[in-house]
Amino acid sequence: MFRKILIANRGEIACRVIRTCRRLGIATVAVHSEADERALHVRMADEAVAIGGAAAADSYLVAERIIAAARDTGAEAVHPGYGFLSEKADFARRLEAAGIAFIGPGADAIAAMGDKIESKKLAHAAGVSTVPGHLDVIADEAEAVRIASAIGYPVMIKASAGGGGKGMRIARSDAEAEEGFRSARSEARSSFADDRVFIEKYVEEPRHIEIQVLADAHGNVVHLGERECSIQRRHQKVIEEAPSPFLDEATRQAMGAQAVALAQAVGYRSAGTVEFIVDKDRNFYFLEMNTRLQVEHPVTEAVTGLDLVEEMIRGAAGETLRIRQEDVRMTGWALEARVYAEDPYRSFLPSIGRVVRYRPPVGEGIRVDTGIYEGAEISVHYDPMIAKLVAFGPDRATATDRLLTALDAYEIGGVTHNVGFLSAVLARQRFRDGRLTTNYIAEEFPGGFAGAELSPTVRRHLAAVAAFLQSVAAARDGAVSGQLPGRRHVAATDWRVVDGDAENAASVRLDEAGGTVALDGAALRIDADWQPGQSLFRGTVGGQAMTVQVARERMGWRLSHGGVVLGLRVLAPRVAELARLMPVKAAADMSRFLLSPMPGLLSQVLVQEGQDVKDGDPLAVVEAMKMENILRAVRDGRIARVHAEAGASLSVDQKILEFE
Ligand code: MV4
């Protein structure tokens, strides 16, 4: 067994690999960029080596620096995690040449699976079901149209070097095939410097289901069942689960057997994933093989009880697989939600900055894999993932409920995050029913995310919680200060809960175990031992378990639950009466301003003061996330003032221009 392993990665996956190494008594070496000096993986490892600048291309992607770091520290093996160098055959080869073990598959298997046309041919030859189509490179538009119509529309045009949706087009007619071929080829050329494209039948209403395989260097291969990864947004997975709610045992066995056959055909070793696309009739087709540990591997670990990183390490050290196929037992259900620093209300723009508050949830069946801690920085240089939140339970409904409760309890401050969006995705009846396809998010949230739904019952329960919190806080306030000698403090019991325009009369009686809130006369029992100052309310309301994040505001409470943030004022009846008479402050009219839609660099201001502009004219360019965003006029007008100059660093909603 290895005595020391270098982890050629960062973030949660580096931390996760280190944890297993520690359990196995293996020393660890972290590598890090300049931006990651204070990162969690650096803190966790026994040793750390700085390998270069903040940009991945200057550090985590520089093979020779990592190999040098392994050599200098005496690491005998390198775990690549996912992304970065994990699927670079050349990196694996150079490590082996330097006498350092690569904890992953052989370089030849990586190379064979890296090319879509080649891997599809290989899979086909190994008896794996592939999407009907044409297995060779398409030469020109005319050939593309001929082959597309021979396959029958709709078809999919794909770049052989592709991934993540790049260089991929759906075509439903000859005209679309011609145009799709042209654009897929040019995108492939610019993205991958490889313009080979092929065409296959488009699978409608697709589900993405993948099989985890595990192989040793002695020809033994097992599969560990499937993961359902259909819930994704623009090729970024959002929720994954194991098993799939869609597969029957026969399909599962057939897919597993084919995944094993493919792994054997390429002489695979280590952990790998065979991706399939499954149609509505449960026909399944090979898509590609990922020759690395995947982000979503914890759901497989949860249902199999295995540690995939441990198995990878043992395999790389030459050990024989410790399990045979008949030993693989799947129990229960696991779901993973990817928690990101991004703003679901602003088309999921990354949210960069310091995580000033970080309290991950704990609880039965909950696992959190993270590279973040309170005070850590989410930088522009890397993927803004905060954590993977995994919930396990005896069945799908229990795992889903546990995940929802954990999301309600997840406290993240300082950066915007997608926790509320994740709750909204899981809370839909369609999710409960397991009717998942890769179109789920686009269909369930057309036009983007605009907040979760709040049922009248939950709204009522939250009003009761607010009244309860107010009563507990008021009782405490009365007990600690402002007492006149000889006067007993009488805690108020009658309140008005103001929810927008609606107002509920709440009468609260507190007791040892919690209290009873009569909302407009109907009593709701609350059991909770919440104390003033706590940011998490956990209890039952009307017999239903509820986890709510609470923050006291000037006249009431801000409650977050189920993806909804609700501001409720809780007032004494007389105060409520007077508050009704208060004028409402009108929101400032910002329509005269051009505001920055995102944090970024103002690279160009294209207009001057006094200039007339027409609807659609470009006004300014903001660079963010490596993209140039052109901001245009939405109506005719004249520029009154320029508020920010080219070169300025903009925050969200910062004024750039003012119109007359
Ligand atoms: C497909 C497909 C439908 N039919 N191929 C997307 C990424 C790449 N790995 C393959 N992809 C797809 N290939 C055929 N013949 C639909 C997709 C697809 C998809 C696949 C997996 C996960 C999410 C997806 C989202 C959109 C499209």
Instruction: Give 593-659's CATH code, choosing from 2.40.30.10, 3.40.920.10, 2.40.50.140, 2.40.50.100.
Output: 2.40.50.100
Q: What are the tokens at 366?
A: 């909950």
pLDDT, tens digit, 9 for 90 and up, residues 361-391? 999 999 999 999 999 999 989 999 999 999 9
Coil, strand or helix at 354: strand
List, for the chain, all residue ranges whose pLDDT scores fall below the cut of 70: 481-483, 486-488, 625-626
Residues counted in the chain: 660
The CA distance from 133 to 114, in Å, is: 19
Of 228, 288, 301, 311, catalytic: 288
Least Cα distance to 182 among 234, 141, 233, 216 occurs for 141
Closest CA to ligand 1's atom 19? 438
Q: Which residue has the tokens 């004022």?
A: 569
Instruction: Give 4-103's CATH code, choosing from 3.40.50.800, 3.40.50.1820, 3.20.10.10, 3.40.50.20.
Output: 3.40.50.20
Cα of 439 vs centre of ligand 1, distance in Å, is 10
Q: Report the chain's terminal Cα–Cα distance, integer Å.
A: 73
Does domain 456-479+490-579 fall into CATH 3.10.20.30? Answer: no
Cβ–ligand 1 distance for 156 under 6 Å, the answer yes
Atom of ligand 1 nearest to the CA of 288: 9
Question: How do the domains of the chain map onto residue ranges?
Answer: 4-103, 104-131+207-331, 132-201, 332-443, 456-479+490-579, 593-659
Q: What are the tokens at 318?
A: 């030459």
**What pLDDT is stored for residue 597 in this prediction?**
86
Cα of 660 vs centre of ligand 1, distance in Å, is 48
Cβ–ligand 1 distance for 381 under 6 Å, the answer no
Q: What is the 3-state secondary structure (H, E, C) of 400-443?
A: HHHHHHHHHHCEEECCCCCHHHHHHHHHCHHHHCCCCCCCHHHH
Alpha carbon 320 to its chain centroid, in Å, reads 35
Strand order, beta sheet including 649-650 = 627-632, 618-624, 600-605, 649-650
CA separation, residue 169 to residues 157, 162, 283 (Å): 5, 11, 22
To test the ligand 1 pocket, which listed residue (172, 228, 438, 441) has its Cβ within 8 A of the most ligand atoms?
Answer: 438
The CA distance from 519 to 564, in Å, is: 21
Atom of ligand 1 nearest to the CA of 165: 7
Cβ–ligand 1 distance for 207 under 6 Å, the answer no
Asked if residues 313 and 20 have their Cβ atoms less than 8 Å apart, the reply is yes
The CA distance from 513 to 510, in Å, is: 8
Cβ–ligand 1 distance for 165 under 6 Å, the answer yes
Atom of ligand 1 nearest to the CA of 203: 4
The CA distance from 333 to 303, in Å, is: 6
Q: What are the tokens at 520?
A: 């407009």
**What pLDDT is stored for residue 586 in this prediction?**
84
Cβ–ligand 1 distance for 289 under 6 Å, the answer no
| Rounded (5°) CA angle 267-272-276 | 105
The CA distance from 22 to 649, in Å, is: 42
Q: What are the tokens at 455?
A: 């049922």
Q: What are the tokens at 153?
A: 């529309």
Q: What are the tokens at 605?
A: 């201001």
Q: Which residue has the tokens 């990817």?
A: 338
Q: What are the tokens at 31?
A: 């590598």
Buried b (16+ CB within 10 A) or exposed e, 401-424: ebbbbbbbbbebebbbbbbbbbbb
pTM given for the model? 0.91
Cβ–ligand 1 distance for 206 under 6 Å, the answer yes
The CA distance from 378 to 372, in Å, is: 8
**Domain spanning 332-443: which superfamily?**
ATP-grasp fold, B domain (3.30.470.20)
Cα of 178 vs centre of ligand 1, distance in Å, is 20
Cβ–ligand 1 distance for 176 under 6 Å, the answer no
**What pLDDT is stored for residue 483 in this prediction?**
66
The CA distance from 408 to 536, in Å, is: 9
Q: Examine residue 485 and say whether the peptide bond preceding it is cis (omega within 30 degrees of 0).
A: no
Strand-strand pairing, 207-215 and 221-233: antiparallel
Does domain 104-131+207-331 fall into CATH 3.30.950.10? Answer: no
The CA distance from 344 to 63, in Å, is: 35
Q: Which residue has the tokens 């200039």?
A: 611
Cα of 467 vs centre of ligand 1, distance in Å, is 49
Cα of 159 vs centre of ligand 1, distance in Å, is 12
CATH code for the structural domain at 132-201? 3.30.1490.20
List the beta strands (DSSP E) in 243-364: 270-278, 284-290, 333-340, 342-343, 349-350, 353-354, 357-359
Cα of 309 vs centre of ligand 1, distance in Å, is 28
The CA distance from 436 to 443, in Å, is: 11
Closest CA to ligand 1's atom 7? 165
φ and ψ at 221, to 5 degrees?
Answer: -135, 135
Coil, strand or helix at 377: strand
Same CATH fold assignment for domains 4-103 and 132-201:
no
To test the ligand 1 pocket, which listed residue (235, 246, 286, 436) has its Cβ within 8 A of the most ligand atoms?
Answer: 235
CA separation, residue 635 to residues 562, 590, 619, 629, 638 (Å): 38, 15, 12, 18, 10
Q: Work out the widest C-alpha separation in the chain, in whole angstroms.
A: 97
**What pLDDT is stored for residue 41 in this prediction?**
98
Cβ–ligand 1 distance for 288 under 6 Å, the answer yes
pLDDT, tens digit, 9 for 90 and up, residues 172-224? 999 999 999 999 999 999 889 999 999 999 999 999 999 999 999 999 999 99
Burial of 46 (0-12, 13-18, 19+ CB in 10 A): middle
Cα of 195 vs centre of ligand 1, distance in Å, is 19
Indicate if 226 belongs to the active site. no
Stated as kind and residue range, the H or E segment containing 655 is: strand 655-659
**What pLDDT is stored for residue 488 in this prediction?**
67
- Bin 635: left if φ > 0, else alpha if -120 < ψ < 50, else beta: beta
To test the ligand 1 pocket, which listed residue (158, 234, 246, 287) has its Cβ within 8 A of the most ligand atoms?
Answer: 287
